[in-house]
Amino acid sequence: MPHLGRRWAAAAAVLALCAGVVAASPASAHPRETGRTATATGYGGAVSTVDPDASAAAIEVLRRGGNAADAAVAAAATLGVTEPYSAGIGGGGYFVYYDARKGKVGTIDGRETAPAAMPRDAFIDPATGQPYPFTPELVTSGVSVGVPGTPATWERALERWGTLSLGEALKPAIKVATRGFVVDPTFRQQTLDNRVRFEAFTSTRELFLPGGDAPTVGSVFRNHDLAATYRLLAKRGADAFYTGRLAAEIAKTVQAPPVSDGTTLPVPVGHMTTADLAGYRALDQAPTHVEYRDLDVYGMAPSSSGGTTVGEALNILDTAELSDMSTPDALHRYLEASALAFADRAEYVGDPASVDVPTAALTDPLFGRERACEIDPLHAATKPVAPGDVRSYDGVCETGSGAPADDKDTENISTTNLTVADRWGDVAEYTLTIEQTGGSGITVPGRGFLLNNELTDFSTVYDPDDPNRIEPGKRPRSSMSPTIILRDGDPFLALGSPGGSTIITTVLQTILNRVDLGMTLPEAIAAPRASQRNTAAVTAEPEFITAYRDDLTPYGHQLTPSGDSFTSAAEIGAATAIEFRRDGRMIAAAEPVRRGGGSAMVVKPAR
């Protein structure tokens, strides 16, 4: 049995205690408020999201005979209502699906794209000749807005795998938007954290700061504008978003944002046109695939870096028997493998439509074996480490091929993830986002949704050798890592997370916890996290630092507390997952504490 250690056991006990508090409904709860339960076990279908209204929407679809694709779209649309600062039709994402009838995994790339007129110096302030400050200036702008991919992704997912029309799948979300949802502390705090940005736009201020303040905890927040927009999509399909009056309004909002009088933010204008919207396509893609232990791991291929980076790191880890190691030894290898994979991510991964991405090499077990040679079992390497050579490898230990890689990462922590399974064995894993918490801060007037700031995922300064350089029509590199794992050809585990570039490490560490360290799925999600992205210090949650600083310092790992650019939040990720047991049971697991706790539900609870 693997050595979990007293320190992690103590941290897990604290998290479990907190989970019990979150799951309990307060005595004074609003009658419309849905309780949160972090773990649910049962049959007939399951769902895990960050929000109980979204989970309830998916369960409603499953109970009425819909499949996993139908329920995933219903949950995602509802998250656009209740989690508007993390996701919505103004953004994009990646959809991974296991089709039980065919026994195959397929994916949809719904990533946003740069407008055709996007200049290479788009992020340079013409007044100074220097890059705009990233936050809040550059993210709060029209120039940061990419052509949204979410409506096209929903429609394509339903066309490929669903049984419902888009209109039918949107019904639960329309209901929630119309009747409203109960404001929790997280929603209010995120609104307050974005106050300066939201006040910069008349449309956003009116919707999210009514009366000049964020909605109070316990009040009911309704979004009739979004309900009307959803009704339009239900009637006319995704074409209503990408063409016609709504498309014209989106383009106008990007080119001439509705700036409030008195704002001090520069709000650089964008370049999106109606032609950009009309030309958008969600792309069918083959998934990435690696074998780990006796499992088949499928992920999202570029333009996301999630599948290649998680896959490469697993190939590196597969060279050692982690289950026979102490937990500190296993964590040391996890951190080192992640750093090596991130070095290759920075060197090679971008939009394959614009960059020659060596996906096959990055996920080749021989390449992973050669990269594993760089790991010293007793000492952490000096970071950043150099990328490997994808042009020449044979699995034999050699030295690094080049200079240390600069990741130039600007991807923000906000996003959301959902996991759904149905009675027939189909599985949907979907990560969607508007990038920053609150996206660009710009609400399309009268339409009820925020636009993304996804183009800030490009490198800020143009470099012709950078695979993530700005180019017209290009999809910026993402870290979203929706992952489906099969065992003997059947689903074993599906998982994903928000968290910017820490998405990759959250998914990787959760797999490590469940597969190698002997944790149950709820324990694997609740366990404290650390993220090594080829940087001098390891970003870690305070609980991880408390549990492992003394164990990992002798290896040379420097642990530094995590936190985002807008708040003091120290959480890494907010995972959702479902595990499939051989007896037919499904274990849906969500966060017990992070982001206020997630919501796991099943169609028929097990006794």
Parse the chain into domains and list their residue ranges: 35-284+410-522+573-605
State the pLDDT at residue 536.
97
State the pLDDT at residue 15.
38
Active-site residue, selected from the candidate residues 113, 415, 416, 510? 415
With a cut of 50, say whether residue 425 has pLDDT above it: yes
C-alpha 569/C-alpha 563 separation (Å) is 5
With a cut of 70, say whether residue 23 has pLDDT above it: no
Number of CB atoms found within 10 A of residue 397's CB: 10
With a cut of 80, say whether residue 535 has pLDDT above it: yes
What is the pLDDT averaged over residues 460-469? 94
State the pLDDT at residue 583.
94
State the pLDDT at residue 64.
97
pLDDT band at 353 (very low <50, low <70, confident <90, very high): very high
Q: Nearest-CA neighbor of 453 among 144, 148, 198, 194?
A: 144
Element (H, E) at 307: helix 306-317
State the pLDDT at residue 405.
54
State the pLDDT at residue 19.
36
User: Whole-model pTM?
Assistant: 0.93
Superfamily of segment(s) 35-284+410-522+573-605: Gamma-glutamyltranspeptidase, small (S) subunit (3.60.20.40)
pLDDT band at 424 (very low <50, low <70, confident <90, very high): very high
Higher pLDDT, 192 or 136: 192
**Is 119:270 a contact under the CB 8 Å cutoff?**
no
The verdict on whether 178 is a catalytic residue reads no
Strand locations in 275-423, DSSP E?
283-285, 288-292, 295-299, 416-422
State the pLDDT at residue 406.
52
pLDDT band at 134 (very low <50, low <70, confident <90, very high): confident
DSSP state letter for 467: T
pLDDT band at 185 (very low <50, low <70, confident <90, very high): very high
State the pLDDT at residue 136.
86
With a cut of 90, say whether residue 387 has pLDDT above it: yes
With a cut of 90, say whether residue 13 has pLDDT above it: no
**Percent of the chain whose predicted confidence (pLDDT) is above 70:** 90
Q: Nearest-CA neighbor of 442 among 132, 200, 196?
A: 200
**Percent of the chain whose predicted confidence (pLDDT) is above 90:** 86
What is the pLDDT averaged over residues 292-321? 98
pLDDT digits (tens, 9 = 90+) for 78-116: 999 999 999 999 999 999 999 999 999 999 999 999 999
Higher pLDDT, 390 or 415: 390
C-alpha 176/C-alpha 482 separation (Å) is 26
What is the pLDDT averaged over residues 415-437? 96
pLDDT digits (tens, 9 = 90+) for 211-243: 999 999 999 999 999 999 999 999 999 999 999
Helix ranges restricted to H, 390-541 = 502-511, 521-526
With a cut of 50, say whether residue 172 has pLDDT above it: yes
As given in the structure block, the two tokens for residue 300 are 């999202």
State the pLDDT at residue 21.
28
pLDDT band at 569 (very low <50, low <70, confident <90, very high): low
Q: What share of the chain is helix, strand, coil (3-state, %, to 5)?
A: 35, 15, 45
